[in-house]
Chain A
Amino acid sequence: MKAFLLKTLLYFFLLICIVLFILQFSSYEVNKNASFKLNSNPRFLIVGSSQSECAYNDSLIPDFKNMSQSGESFFYTYFKTSLILKHNKSVETVFIDFSNIQIHPEMNDWTWDDKHISYRYPIYSSFMNFDDQLLLFKNNPFGFLSTLSFTFKYRFNKIVSNNYNFVNEVGGYLFLDRDKTDSLLNKIDSSQVEQNIIDKKKYSEINLIYLKKIIDLCKANDKKVYLLRSPQHIKSLNLKNDSLYFEILNTRFKNNEFLDFSKVPFTSNEFGDFDHLNYKGAKIYSLWFSQILKDGLLLKNNKQKFINQKINDRDMMILREL
């Protein structure tokens, strides 16, 4: 029995050593060669999840790059931002989309549930340190271990194809061609509203910790950093958390400038759903956003007042007519 157990343990030990070596070696190779160099030399960068991914059509905003991605929590955004800043010295200003959903407990799932970990961990694992990996392992050990195989295959493909460019797979503007807001309006019931009211103790702490890390990272790199809230439909269920959202914003991020665009008026057919502008809304919004940047938004002392003024101007109407 002893001999059997010892040999079995030795076998597993050898196997684990070989697997760790393969993973470590591939991680080193990917890390050494990885490129996050953007095609243009943007001065402005926006990161976040699907709200900003669908809202900012960066082809309409000069010197601006949208690197947001659907379903991405700040845990992964942190590594992405760090690498983009490292490879793109031209970036001066970083906008971080901080919408209501970012405090939702669902952000924990976006960080470590099976679906999200298996997609994002292979991409970013080569750039994570031990503590970051431990965090994922602690919260979803089986998911973490299962994804190691995907990770190896992902890195192996990168190495074999000698293609270390990550830019196209980590974000960009999403042309959302749908318009289902009206049908959603008919479906809202009180239970859905209740489900979206977050208990004060249950918001996603990990997402906020990594948001803070992104802000600190930008500051350490001498970049200007702004939190912003992208346009949302007035009926968005996520807005039901406004009180908790602002409580967090005004306590934990009170030293950061916040730009609220959530009230920029759009019609229902300019939204894909309650939380995402579709391509029609994105076009109007991006042109408008570009204009207010040009008008010196970032130089104003009271930026929110300036935004509100601009919302009330006739600009939006003119843009719609274009």
Chain B
Amino acid sequence: MVFNSLVFLFFFVSFYLLYWFVFNKSFKQQNMILLIGSYFFYGWADWRFLSFLILISVFYFVLGIYLEKSIKYKKHLLYIGLIFGIGILGFFKYYNFFISSFNDLFNSFNLNLSLKTLRIIVPLGISFLTFRLISYIIDVSNQKINSTKDWIVFFNYVSFFPSLLSGPIDKASLLVPQLEIKREFVYSKSVDGLRQILWGLFKKVVIADYLATLTYQIFDNYSSLEGSTLLLGLFLYTFQIYADFSGYSDMAIGLARLLGLTTTKNFAFPLFSQNIADFWRKWHISLTSWLTEYVFTPLSIYFRNYGKIGLILAIVINFTIIGFWHGPSWTYVLFGFLHGCFFIPLILNGTINKRKALSKDNLLPTLRELKNILSTFTLVTFSFVLFISNSLANAYSYLLKIFSLSFFSKPEISFVKVIPLILFFLSVEWIGRNGEHALSNLINLKSRLLRWVFYILIALSLFISQGKQQSFIYFQF
């Protein structure tokens, strides 16, 4: 049940009415219906993993309580929680990767290990789910938060349906306190939530799904296409993956706001980033801030005696983990590693922490801003070749093909239709760059008529663009 489907619309409307009109007497009632809704949503996607979701919730709920109480075994319990969480993720997502990598490694020494891979069905949203649980027990262990004694609150935190399958990865310190009190309806929050959903849908249905028809055509046939076409395909993919994932996040955040809850912001207009550090402050924020808190900070403390080298090490390890989080493939590992390396010049010249904020009121970026935006965008775009390739060899030959003589030939696929679409998309994002999301400042537009015309036009474009539904890219992660 994806957010941009009619089934979800019917589900959410029914759920919303029950949530605000029937089960609205106390936070317990609200939580009960929220839990039923979340399990229904997850079960609809794959009912076989519902029991997995419940069992894992029970385990961490009990662990959290004991972790808080225990003084003597605190560390042991924390390790159990960490090993269990990482173990689950490792088994479902990475088991086959490690086995085949071991086999390959031993084969290269002429040793036939022949370890068997398994046919594993990966539970949906497992990467997001386990990170959420791990952050909970670390925060309880560090006494940043108290463990919750209300199992329904905890189960809701684990399975909160708007962010269950593809994030944002909410920390317990943000979501649990909100679940422990009754949610009140706030008009402005709800309207803004709807606006965010509308823009999220536009990004997914109109931009990402349309671009997917072009990019997948290019990536599937890259060996027979010209370098110029491949380059354009790569640039379009950057827009596609941003529109796809940030579109999903906007919908998730907007849905949560409609239910009176605030979740973590996940994107802050990363296409206008001034350098790579700025990019990672704006791209998949919930993941980067999670890893910053639980991986990078401890690592940088550990390496603090090594000066800049220590910082580089901490960043490179942190980003390699970010890359590996995306999936069991060396391409993702290299993607993360490369991004870590992109930080090295910033660390060496001491500009890593200097924030280059975009001018707030300018209608257009300054030349200097534009230069920075374009160079960061190009750097990120080229790294995405590792996202679209299923092996390092493929990524290499894709890049090689781009920089062949055919780079100077005319692209074989017409991109004329795409240009106005991307220009409109970028314009709206640029104008809205100072807000929580692209349309949040639309309220400042005085004419209600104009606002409504804009909303209607966006919705009509959704209706017209409804085509072959592409699944969300980040569902695979």
User: Residues of A at under 8 Å CB distance from B?
Assistant: 1, 3-4, 7-8, 11, 14-15, 18-19, 142, 145-146, 148-150, 152-153
Considering the chains assembled together, what is the distance between the CA atoms of A177 and B155 in angstroms?
59
Considering the chains assembled together, what is the distance between the CA atoms of A103 and B191 in angstroms?
52
**Interface contact B187-A3, CB-CB below 8 Å:** yes
Contacts of B455 in A (CB 8 A): 11
Q: How far is the CB of A177 from chain B (nearest CB, A)?
A: 25
B459 within 8 A of partner (CB): yes
B194 within 8 A of partner (CB): yes
**Interface contact A4-B190, CB-CB below 8 Å:** yes
**Proximity bits, B10-36, A CB within 8 Å = 1, else 0:** 000000000010000000000000000
Which 7 pairs show the lowest CB-CB distances between chains A and B?
A149-B466, A1-B185, A142-B6, A15-B459, A4-B190, A149-B463, A4-B187
Please, which residue of chain A has its CB at the minimum distance from the CB of B469?
Answer: A146
Please tell me which one of the listed residues B6, B456, B463 contacts residue A14 in the complex, with CB atoms under 8 A apart. Answer: B456
**Interface contact A8-B194, CB-CB below 8 Å:** yes
Considering the chains assembled together, what is the distance between the CA atoms of A148 and B6 in angstroms?
12
**Interface contact A142-B467, CB-CB below 8 Å:** no
Q: How far is the CB of A149 from chain B (nearest CB, A)?
A: 4
Q: How far is the CB of B29 from chain A (nearest CB, A)?
A: 16
Considering the chains assembled together, what is the distance between the CA atoms of A3 and B455 in angstroms?
18
**Interface contact A19-B460, CB-CB below 8 Å:** yes
Considering the chains assembled together, what is the distance between the CA atoms of A303 and B191 in angstroms?
72
Contacts of B466 in A (CB 8 A): 146, 149-150
**Interface contact A146-B6, CB-CB below 8 Å:** yes
Q: How far is the CB of A2 from chain B (nearest CB, A)?
A: 10
**Interface contact B452-A11, CB-CB below 8 Å:** yes
B7 within 8 A of partner (CB): yes
B464 within 8 A of partner (CB): yes
User: Residues of B at under 8 Å CB distance from A?
Assistant: 6-7, 20, 185, 187, 190-191, 194, 452, 455-456, 459-460, 463-467
Please, which residue of chain A has its CB at the minimum distance from the CB of B466?
Answer: A149
**Interface contact A153-B190, CB-CB below 8 Å:** no
**Interface contact B187-A149, CB-CB below 8 Å:** no
Chosen A-B contacts, 19 in total, with CB atoms closer than 8 Å, are A1-B20, A1-B185, A3-B187, A4-B187, A4-B191, A7-B191, A8-B194, A11-B452, A15-B456, A15-B459, A15-B460, A18-B460, A142-B6, A146-B466, A149-B465, A149-B467, A150-B466, A152-B464, A153-B464
**Interface contact B464-A149, CB-CB below 8 Å:** yes
Considering the chains assembled together, what is the distance between the CA atoms of A14 and B457 in angstroms?
11
Please, which residue of chain B has its CB at the minimum distance from the CB of A12?
Answer: B459
Considering the chains assembled together, what is the distance between the CA atoms of A1 and B24 in angstroms?
13
Extra contacts, 10 of them, besides A1-B187, A7-B191, A152-B463 (Cβ < 8 A), are: A3-B187, A11-B452, A11-B455, A15-B456, A18-B456, A18-B460, A19-B463, A149-B463, A149-B465, A150-B467
Considering the chains assembled together, what is the distance between the CA atoms of A14 and B456 in angstroms?
8
Q: How far is the CB of B467 from chain A (nearest CB, A)?
A: 7
Q: How far is the CB of A154 from chain B (nearest CB, A)?
A: 12
Contacts of B465 in A (CB 8 A): 149
Q: How far is the CB of A231 from chain B (nearest CB, A)?
A: 37
Q: How far is the CB of B201 from chain A (nearest CB, A)?
A: 13
Contacts of A153 in B (CB 8 A): 464
Considering the chains assembled together, what is the distance between the CA atoms of A32 and B68 in angstroms?
75
**Interface contact A145-B467, CB-CB below 8 Å:** no
Considering the chains assembled together, what is the distance between the CA atoms of A143 and B194 in angstroms?
25
Considering the chains assembled together, what is the distance between the CA atoms of A129 and B452 in angstroms?
33
Contacts of A8 in B (CB 8 A): 194
Contacts of A145 in B (CB 8 A): 6
Q: How far is the CB of B1 from chain A (nearest CB, A)?
A: 11
Considering the chains assembled together, what is the distance between the CA atoms of A19 and B464 in angstroms?
10
Considering the chains assembled together, what is the distance between the CA atoms of A18 and B460 in angstroms?
9
Considering the chains assembled together, what is the distance between the CA atoms of A8 and B190 in angstroms?
10
Contacts of B459 in A (CB 8 A): 15
Please, which residue of chain A has its CB at the minimum distance from the CB of B21?
Answer: A1
Considering the chains assembled together, what is the distance between the CA atoms of A14 and B458 in angstroms?
13
Q: How far is the CB of A180 from chain B (nearest CB, A)?
A: 27
B185, B191, B466 — most chain A CB neighbours (10 Å): B466
